Chains A and B, each alone.
Chain A
Amino acid sequence: MVTAQRNTNMHSIPNQPSSNKTSSRDLTVESEQEGNPALIEVDNLSFSYDMGKTDTLKHINLDIPENKVTAFIGPSGCGKSTLLRCFNRMNDTIPTAKITGGGIKIMGSDLYASRVDSILLRKHVGMVFQKSNPFPKSIYENVAFGLRIAGERNRSTIDHAVEESLKGAALWDEVKDRLKEPALELSGGQQQRLCIARTIAVQPSVILMDEPCSALDPIATAVIEELITKLREDYTVVIVTHNMQQATRVSDRTAFFYLGELIEYDLTSKLFTNPSIKQTEEYISGRFG
Chain B
Amino acid sequence: MLDLKHTLGDFEDSLRNTRKSVLTMASFAQQNLGSAVNGLLQRNEDLCNDAIAEDEEVNGLERSIDQGGMEILMRFNPVATDLRMVVAAMKISTNLERIADQAVNIARRSRKILKKGHVAETALVGPIYEIASGILHDAIKSFSEDDPALALTLFERDVELDKLHKRAIKKYTSLMEEDTENLRTYLNLIFIVKCLERVGDHAKNIGEDAIYVSEGTDIRHIGPSALEEDEE
For B42, the chain A residues whose CB sits under 8 A away are none
- Given A287-B2, A288-B4, answer yes or no on A281-B226 (Cβ-Cβ < 8 Å): no
- Given A27-B217, A287-B2, answer yes or no on A281-B231 (Cβ-Cβ < 8 Å): no
* Chain B residue at minimum C-beta to C-beta distance from A275: B80
Contact segment of B6-14, B58-66, B130-138, B201-209: B6-14
The verdict on B49 contacting chain A, using a C-beta distance below 8 Å, is no
* Contacting pair A287 B216 (CB below 8 A): no
**Chain A residues within 8 Å of chain B by Cβ, number:** 24
Q: Using an 8 Å CB-CB cutoff, how does the interface string of A257-289 with B read, 1 for contact, 0 for none?
A: 000000000000000111100101110111110
For A23, the chain B residues whose CB sits under 8 A away are 230-231
Shortest beta-carbon distance, A247 to chain B, in Å? 10
* Contacting pair A286 B214 (CB below 8 A): no
* Contacting pair B230 A24 (CB below 8 A): yes
Interface centre among A26, A273, A274 (most CB of B within 10 A): A274
Q: Using an 8 Å CB-CB cutoff, how does the interface string of B135-161 with A read, 1 for contact, 0 for none?
A: 000000000000000000000000000
- Given A26-B216, A27-B218, A244-B77, answer yes or no on A285-B230 (Cβ-Cβ < 8 Å): no
Identify A24's interface contact among B4, B8, B215, CB under 8 A: B215
In the complex, A245 Cα to B78 Cα: how many Å? 10
The verdict on A176 contacting chain B, using a C-beta distance below 8 Å, is no
Contact segment of B81-89, B101-109, B163-171, B187-195: B81-89
* Contacting pair A274 B227 (CB below 8 A): no
* Contacting pair A285 B216 (CB below 8 A): no
In the complex, A273 Cα to B88 Cα: how many Å? 13
Identify B79's interface contact among A22, A25, A278, A285, CB under 8 A: A285
* Contacting pair B231 A286 (CB below 8 A): no
Within 8 A of A (CB), among B74-121: 76-84
* Contacting pair A286 B8 (CB below 8 A): yes
* Contacting pair B80 A272 (CB below 8 A): yes
The verdict on B229 contacting chain A, using a C-beta distance below 8 Å, is yes
* Chain B residue at minimum C-beta to C-beta distance from A25: B230
Identify A27's interface contact among B7, B82, B226, CB under 8 A: B226
- Given A27-B218, A282-B2, answer yes or no on A272-B7 (Cβ-Cβ < 8 Å): no
* Contacting pair A21 B2 (CB below 8 A): no
* Contacting pair B229 A27 (CB below 8 A): yes
In the complex, A286 Cα to B75 Cα: how many Å? 13
11 pairs of residues in contact across A and B, judged by CB atoms under 8 Å: A22-B231, A24-B216, A24-B227, A25-B229, A272-B83, A274-B80, A274-B84, A285-B82, A286-B7, A286-B8, A287-B6
